[in-house]
């Protein structure tokens, strides 16, 4: 489709486990899921590690584990643990010193991985506090700064003008930030744009529609246009490659095992 990287969302991963986005999944659950993704694609993967699963030593562990799997970048936020979804009220953030300790632990542990520093301070304190923290995190070595829950295009623009760093914008739906276009964001200084729950929301909407049709009409025929067909799915999972391999190997195995 032409996209240049993939984003692993903590919120979407939590939802896939049937739990809310409040930091309930473990490091090992994250690692196991990421392992299957990196095996399935060559695209660079950005992984949301929430608050780092504890203190600096925990951050070091998750960085080393994810870099071993080939992850290109991680995102580390400055909320307290357990955290909350970035577009909900009631968030709390740690002190600047506590966060910078975790950030520096991540930077010391990584080899080639990028570290994205996210601040939730706009929603907790003020826009000026978000600028202050973004600047501090930049000066502490973060490769990219992610200001969460900015509330207008002017805030996005002013943040870029004042922080002067590679920046990431979160264009989640139904949140506190306006939905801006990739061009809009690029024009005002943002290098990365993520859509953390777009795929999940679209997929769940299509699933709901399909089963509503089955319930009401007794058939899924009116949902076929929303579906990938069999050949598209087989192409995605390399079915033909495995089928060809099986056809080459299975006859030999069968012949040797005949009595």
Predicted confidence (pLDDT) per residue in 214-252, tens digit: 999 999 999 999 999 999 999 988 888 888 888 888 766
The mean pLDDT of 7-19, rounded to a whole number, is 94
Domain with CATH 3.20.20.60 in the chain: 6-196
Torsion sign over Cα 51, 53, 56, 60: negative
User: Per-residue pLDDT tens for 127-166?
Assistant: 999 999 999 999 999 999 999 999 999 999 999 999 999 9
CA separation for the pair 170, 193 (Å, rounded): 6
> Which pTM does this prediction carry?
0.90
Question: For residue 166, with 0-12 CB atoms within 10 Å meaning exposed, 13-18 middle and 19 or more buried, which class applies?
Answer: middle
List the CATH code of the domain at 6-196: 3.20.20.60
């Amino acid at each position: 489709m032409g996209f240049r990287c993939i984003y692993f969302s903590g919120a979407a991963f939590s939802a896939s486990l049937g739990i809310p986005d409040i930091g309930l999944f473990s490091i090992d659950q994250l690692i196991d899921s990421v392992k299957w993704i990196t095996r399935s694609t060559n695209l660079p993967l950005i992984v949301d590690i929430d608050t780092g699963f504890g203190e600096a030593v925990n951050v070091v562990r998750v960085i080393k584990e994810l870099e071993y799997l080939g992850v290109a970048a991680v995102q580390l936020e400055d909320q307290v643990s357990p955290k909350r979804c970035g577009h909900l009220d009631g968030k709390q953030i740690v002190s600047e010193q506590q966060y910078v300790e975790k950030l520096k632990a991540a930077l010391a542990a990584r080899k080639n991985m990028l570290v994205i520093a996210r601040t939730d301070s706009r929603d907790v304190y003020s826009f000026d506090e978000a600028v202050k923290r973004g600047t501090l995190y930049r000066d502490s070595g973060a490769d990219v700064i992610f200001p969460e829950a900015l509330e207008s295009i002017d805030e996005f623009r002013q943040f870029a003008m004042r922080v002067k760093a590679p920046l990431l914008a979160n264009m989640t739906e139904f949140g506190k930030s306006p939905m801006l276009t990739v061009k809009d964001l690029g024009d005002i200084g943002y290098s990365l744009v993520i859509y953390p729950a777009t795929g999940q929301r679209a997929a769940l909407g299509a699933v709901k529609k399909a089963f509503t049709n089955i319930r009401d009409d007794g058939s899924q025929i009116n949902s076929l246009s929303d579906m990938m067909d069999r050949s598209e799915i087989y192409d995605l999972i390399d079915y033909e490659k495995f089928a060809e391999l099986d056809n080459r190997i299975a006859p030999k195995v069968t012949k040797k095992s005949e009595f």
